[in-house]
Chains A and B, each alone.
Chain A
Amino acid sequence: MPSVTAPRSTAQAVEPAGSTQVDPAPRHRERHLFRLWFALPAMALVTFFFLTPFVANAVLSFMQWTGFSSTISFNGLANFRSLMALGILGHATWVTIAFAVTTMLTQNVIGLALAKALQETNRVNSIYRSVFFLPVLMSPLAAGFIWAAILSDHGPVNQFLGLLAGHEVAYSWLGHPVSALLTVGIIDGWKWSGLVTLVYIAGLNTIPRTVREAALLDGAGPWRRFVGIEMPLLAPAFTFNLVLTLVGSFSALDVIFATTKGGPGTATSVLNVAVFNQYGMGLFGTSSALSFMIAILVIVTAVPMIWFLRRREVHG
């Protein structure tokens, strides 16, 4: 029980109990007004560091602005056009989508499989859960460095493959465009899949036991129980995991900085790497345009995804 140590105010004590329900509108208003003060600091900080920068970024995408001149002027779609002409915008967008999808699939496939395996809460499962959660604590930079070493030309993975193949294998996982992009995506997925696992476990645990038992009694096998009962009832966990893992990896940078720095060539140059490169060259307008492109990606994917997945939640 929460304790209230405040002295009783006589003014309120004499009021009949339940008077708040029949308060006239103005008093009701006043009753709520004070709470505005409680929200004000958070509102101010979100205005300063989310809302204003976000709007400014959208506006700056259409501005001519570099570090070499002090004037900022409207230039329409010129930033996007020049980025298109340089082959940066389209390429970085595709790389970002491929990276994000790889990451999302890794996290959710691994996460769901582990959640099913470790669904029941008991001592052994708790140990496994804790072990698989460890990568979540690592910084993505650290994850990048570790896996870059493991996947290096003469690293453990190639040594193991060499053992299987019977001859030396020195495949450069991070040195070929396609494998580099897949690899960095999987490394990022590796880092977060422990968390996704726990969200799925939480979702599975909200499924009423009676539902599962009913299916069991009706003779449904494990696979049918999973597809027919658990998958639909997991809908809220799916919404959360799929949206946040996809949207989160649209703005990834760390793992790529620690492994390929965008290379080989520009094979792993996601939008945020391109943003940093433009920013580093003092091209703030084009940098903002690329950053705005991430926002567009988020909006065009997250909104339909939330809409679709939420609908499943209702009908599921």
Chain B
Amino acid sequence: MSTTSAPATSPLRLVPLEEHGRPPRARLRPAAVLKYVVLTLVAVPWVGLPLWMLVVNAGKTTQEAAIPSVSLPSHWSFADNLSVVLDQGHYLTGLRNSLLVTVPVVVLVLLLGSMAAWTFARTPWRWLRVWYYVFALSIILPPAIVPTVVILTRTGLTGTVAGYALALVGTRLGIIVFLTTGYLRTLPSDYEDAAQMDGAGRWQTFRHVILPLLQPVLFTAAVMTVINVWNDFLFALYMIQGSDNATLPLTLYQFSSAGQYSINWNLVFMHVILTSAPLLIAYVVLQKRIMSGLTDGGVTG
């Protein structure tokens, strides 16, 4: 393996060589091969096995899946399980509610968060700093759910999708404000000043200068918020009532608890596949951008 030049098609000719500053043969060292062998051996049980379990057991009959295993189903009953989950698992209702919650929450969190970030990054008043710390604290302090439910009850929003969505916005704003403020502080205010001087209104300055400047960090923030809100179970458990209002994690939980004696693995796994599918599809489509956004330091700012 220690030849001096790698064939152009080799998957191990990985890095633009000058970036690494080492001779080409370093790429084909046995150590590099070993690394990818080990990584693959880790990835198989770590990621491969769970996905394989999901697919094969979602295709089994309830009896066959009673003891979940890696074996293929003796008879694929994927379609049957699918129709049971659609009928009894309230999947379509859950999907509708999840979309009704996730889309507005993400839009509101990003919009209101970056609006506030503009204030925090550019206004030097001391009491505003206190507010900024309140937002930062809301990231690490645990949500106080019982009083939140009381507030929702007092305002007549308890159990509804709207109340749940507002509570999510209020608790997810902190991280967005924190990331966007930090990012905005590293940028000079020249663009904004120029726009203002050209007579742009405040909203126009925000819309045409600030938002485009924040775009890279907002994309990463949007990815994290979508994952977080789509999968939220804790808030949904307390704040949503009835299967008509249930979001996907809640329908999944209710469905899994419906089995009288034990979990029907085939049906639960089918529900898991359907619940995860929208995010997985979005991930496959946007994967390149998501990965580069997150590794460019978007999270740590």
CB distance from B293 to the nearest CB of A (A): 9
CB pair B112 A42 closer than 8 Å: yes
CB pair A46 B199 closer than 8 Å: no
CB contacts (< 8 Å) of B38 on chain A: these are 117
CB pair B144 A190 closer than 8 Å: no
CB distance from B188 to the nearest CB of A (A): 13
Among the stretches A31-39, A78-86, A177-185, A223-231, the one at the interface with B is A31-39
CB pair A4 B299 closer than 8 Å: no
Contact of A244 among B118, B122, B140 (CB under 8 A): B140
A145-B263, A149-B53 given; A133·B234 CB < 8 A? no
CB contacts (< 8 Å) of B196 on chain A: these are 12
A38-B115, A46-B174 given; A8·B198 CB < 8 A? yes
116-146 of chain A: CB within 8 A of chain B:
117-118, 120-126, 128-143, 145-146
> Looking at chain B's contact residues, is the secondary structure mostly helix, strand, loop, or mixed?
helix
CB contacts (< 8 Å) of A130 on chain B: these are 287, 291
Cβ of B212 within 8 Å of any chain A Cβ, yes or no, is: yes
CB pair A213 B68 closer than 8 Å: no
Q: How distant is the Cα of A9 from the Cα of B138 in the complex, in angstroms?
A: 41
CB contacts (< 8 Å) of B299 on chain A: these are 195, 198-199, 202, 240
Among the stretches B1-9, B14-22, B73-81, B85-93, the one at the interface with A is B14-22
A159-B69, A202-B298 given; A53·B49 CB < 8 A? no
CB contacts (< 8 Å) of B209 on chain A: these are 2, 4
Cβ of B82 within 8 Å of any chain A Cβ, yes or no, is: no
Cβ of B285 within 8 Å of any chain A Cβ, yes or no, is: no
Q: How distant is the Cα of A75 from the Cα of B208 in the complex, in angstroms?
A: 55
46-98 of chain B: CB within 8 A of chain A:
46-47, 49-51, 53-54, 57, 67-70
Cβ of B166 within 8 Å of any chain A Cβ, yes or no, is: yes
163-201 of chain B: CB within 8 A of chain A:
166-167, 169-171, 173-174, 177, 191, 193-201
- A188-218 CB contact bits vs B (8 Å, 1 = yes)? 0010000100110111011001000100100
CB distance from B126 to the nearest CB of A (A): 13
CB pair A298 B140 closer than 8 Å: yes
CB contacts (< 8 Å) of B238 on chain A: these are 279
CB distance from B112 to the nearest CB of A (A): 4
Q: How distant is the Cα of A272 from the Cα of B35 in the complex, in angstroms?
A: 40
Contact of B169 among A5, A45, A195, A279 (CB under 8 A): A45
CB contacts (< 8 Å) of B147 on chain A: these are 52-54, 56-57, 60, 288
CB distance from A191 to the nearest CB of B (A): 9
Cβ of B99 within 8 Å of any chain A Cβ, yes or no, is: no
Cβ of A253 within 8 Å of any chain B Cβ, yes or no, is: yes
A46-B174, A243-B140 given; A236·B11 CB < 8 A? no
228-243 of chain A: CB within 8 A of chain B:
236-237, 240, 243
Cβ of B161 within 8 Å of any chain A Cβ, yes or no, is: no
CB pair A43 B53 closer than 8 Å: no
CB distance from A291 to the nearest CB of B (A): 6
133-153 of chain B: CB within 8 A of chain A:
134-135, 138-148, 150-151
A4-B208, A49-B170, A199-B300 given; A43·B131 CB < 8 A? yes
CB contacts (< 8 Å) of A12 on chain B: these are 196-197, 199
Cβ of A73 within 8 Å of any chain B Cβ, yes or no, is: no
Closest to B152 in A: A49
Closest to A301 in B: B140
CB pair A46 B173 closer than 8 Å: yes
CB pair A46 B138 closer than 8 Å: yes
Among the stretches A87-95, A150-158, A161-169, the one at the interface with B is A150-158
- A240-277 CB contact bits vs B (8 Å, 1 = yes)? 10011001001101100110000000000000100110
Cβ of A50 within 8 Å of any chain B Cβ, yes or no, is: yes
CB contacts (< 8 Å) of A304 on chain B: these are none
CB pair A46 B53 closer than 8 Å: no
CB pair B151 A138 closer than 8 Å: no
CB pair A6 B200 closer than 8 Å: yes
CB contacts (< 8 Å) of A32 on chain B: these are 122-125
CB pair A198 B269 closer than 8 Å: no
Cβ of B280 within 8 Å of any chain A Cβ, yes or no, is: yes
A134-B47, A135-B50, A139-B275 given; A4·B115 CB < 8 A? no
A124-B11, A137-B276, A156-B70 given; A202·B300 CB < 8 A? yes
CB distance from B279 to the nearest CB of A (A): 5
Cβ of A172 within 8 Å of any chain B Cβ, yes or no, is: no
Q: How distant is the Cα of A284 from the Cα of B145 in the complex, in angstroms?
A: 11
A4-B204, A9-B199, A46-B174 given; A123·B14 CB < 8 A? yes
CB pair A291 B20 closer than 8 Å: no
CB pair B68 A150 closer than 8 Å: yes
CB contacts (< 8 Å) of B213 on chain A: these are 2
Q: How distant is the Cα of A13 from the Cα of B120 in the complex, in angstroms?
A: 27
CB pair B43 A291 closer than 8 Å: no
CB contacts (< 8 Å) of B227 on chain A: these are 136-137
Q: 9 more A-B contacts (CB under 8 A) besides A51-B134, A279-B145?
A: A3-B208, A32-B125, A38-B118, A39-B120, A50-B138, A51-B138, A130-B291, A142-B252, A156-B49
List 30 contacting pairs A-B, 8 Å CB cutoff, sorted by A.
Answer: A2-B191, A8-B198, A17-B197, A32-B124, A32-B125, A39-B131, A46-B135, A46-B170, A48-B151, A49-B169, A50-B143, A53-B147, A124-B14, A126-B288, A128-B39, A129-B291, A132-B46, A136-B227, A141-B231, A141-B252, A145-B256, A145-B272, A149-B57, A149-B269, A156-B69, A253-B233, A257-B233, A272-B234, A288-B146, A291-B146
Closest 3 A/B residue pairs (Cβ): A49-B170, A9-B199, A57-B144
